[in-house]
């Protein structure tokens, strides 16, 4: 979707609902709200309605989106009770979060661009979110889950479940990517398809150097070990910086089991 088409979609939706009394405000959020959108970005909105995400407001939104083209995908409050996702025939993608006026406080001015705001709600928002402290509980769970998935390698190899072993490699890769993003502490992270702007050149080189997920025994084992070598020392360093206790016994028991079952030793010191 080129930028002129994106702006056309925004204008058509805005014009369709701006005069409705029950709709109090409409903002751009996501990449458009932060000014970081490109021609591949979907269009995220925050809509403020007196009654919130009701069936009536959802129908108003559907009519507005239909002004931009024939709707071929419509997820109406499917994953969360206030979110509607839509795709039109030309693959214009729009998401809307529907809130009541008193629910807007979780948003910030730096994340939104007002399209209309009848009650000046934007002025009452914080200018930017406060920097949050690292979530040690979440990080500890991610480390433990990485070690758990690594440990399941002996099961996949023993059962010759090489397809499932490939799934394990993807899980390890996801944990590594999350760790790399945490290391850069990049603001405005956006959606899952914005990795290029979140990690460094060195981190990209690391990811592209790792072996692919191939469903045979040797490749499955090699990939697991490569990801363990890339992830675990970095995660241990981050844990030390954050003052988080490392799951020493769990990691040691995992390497012991892999050694007993597959004659695999820890690929780093």
Residues of the chain with CATH 1.20.120: 136-262
Among all chains, which residue has been given the structure tokens 């690594």?
A: 150
Instruction: For the chain, give the longest Cα–Cα distance.
Output: 71
Instruction: Concatenate the DSSP letters of all residues of the chain into one string.
Output: --HHHHHHHHHHHHHHHTT-TTEEEEEEEHHHHHT---TT--EEEEEEETT-S-HHHHHHHHHHHHTTS-EEEEEESSSSTTEEEEEETT--EEEEEEE-GGGGGG-BGGG-EEEEETT-GGGGSBSSPPPPPP-HHHHHHHHHHHHHHHHTHHHHHHHT-HHHHHHHHHHHHHHHHHHHHHHHT-S---STT-GGGTS-HHHHHHHHHSPP--SSHHHHHHHHHHHHHHHHHHHHHHHHHHTPPP-HHHHHHHHHHHHHHH----S--
* Separation between Cα atoms, residue 94 and residue 6, nearest integer Å: 10
Domain range 3-124, its CATH number among 3.40.50.300, 3.30.460.10, 3.30.1360.120, 3.40.1000.10: 3.30.460.10
User: By C-alpha distance, which of 137, 130, 103 is closest to 245?
Assistant: 137
Provide the token pair at 185. Answer: 């502490």
**Contact predicate 208/226, CB 8 Å:** no
The pLDDT-based confidence of 69 (bands split at 50, 70, 90) is very high
Tell me yes or no: is domain 136-262 CATH 1.10.10. Answer: no
Percent of the chain with pLDDT over 90: 83
Phi, psi at 38, each rounded to 5°:
-130, -175
Among all chains, which residue has been given the structure tokens 């088409």?
A: 5
Q: Burial of 97 by CB count in 10 Å (0-12 exposed, 13-18 middle, 19+ buried)?
A: buried
Compute the mean pLDDT over every residue in the chain, rounded to the nearest whole number: 93
What global pTM score does this model have?
Answer: 0.82
The answer to whether the Cα torsion of 130, 131, 135, 138 is positive or negative is positive
Which pLDDT belongs to residue 34? 87
Which pLDDT belongs to residue 190? 54
Residues of the chain with CATH 3.30.460.10: 3-124
pLDDT tens digits, 126-138? 998 887 788 999 9
The answer to whether the Cα torsion of 114, 117, 120, 125 is positive or negative is negative
In this model, does residue 189 exceed pLDDT 60? Answer: no
pLDDT tens digits, 118-163? 999 999 999 988 877 889 999 999 999 999 999 999 999 999 999 9
């Amino acid at each position: 979707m080129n930028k002129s088409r994106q702006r056309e979609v925004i204008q058509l939706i805005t014009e369709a609902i701006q005069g409705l009394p029950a709709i109090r405000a409409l903002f751009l959020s996501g990449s458009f709200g932060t000014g970081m959108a490109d021609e591949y970005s979907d269009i995220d909105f925050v809509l403020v309605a007196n009654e919130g995400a009701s069936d009536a407001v959802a129908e108003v939104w559907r009519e507005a989106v239909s002004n931009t083209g024939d709707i071929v995908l419509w997820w109406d409050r499917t994953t969360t009770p206030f979110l509607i996702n839509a795709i039109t025939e030309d693959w214009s993608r729009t998401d809307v979060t529907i809130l009541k006026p008193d629910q807007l406080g979780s948003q910030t001015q730096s994340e939104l661009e007002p399209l209309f705001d009848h009650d000046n709600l934007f002025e009452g928002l914080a200018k930017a979110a406060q920097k949050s402290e690292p979530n040690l509980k979440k990080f500890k769970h991610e480390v433990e889950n990485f070690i758990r998935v690594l440990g399941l390698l002996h099961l996949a190899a023993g059962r010759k479940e090489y397809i499932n072993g490939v799934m394990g490699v993807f899980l390890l890769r996801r944990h590594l990517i999350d760790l790399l993003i945490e290391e850069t502490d990049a603001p405005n992270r956006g959606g899952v398809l914005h990795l290029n702007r979140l990690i460094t050149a060195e981190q990209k080189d690391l990811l592209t150097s790792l072996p692919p997920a191939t469903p045979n025994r040797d490749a499955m084992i090699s990939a697991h070990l490569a990801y363990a070598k890339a992830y675990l020392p970095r995660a241990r360093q981050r844990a030390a910086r954050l003052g988080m206790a490392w799951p020493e016994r769990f990691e040691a028991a995992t390497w012991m089991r892999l050694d007993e079952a597959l004659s695999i030793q820890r690929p780093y010191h």
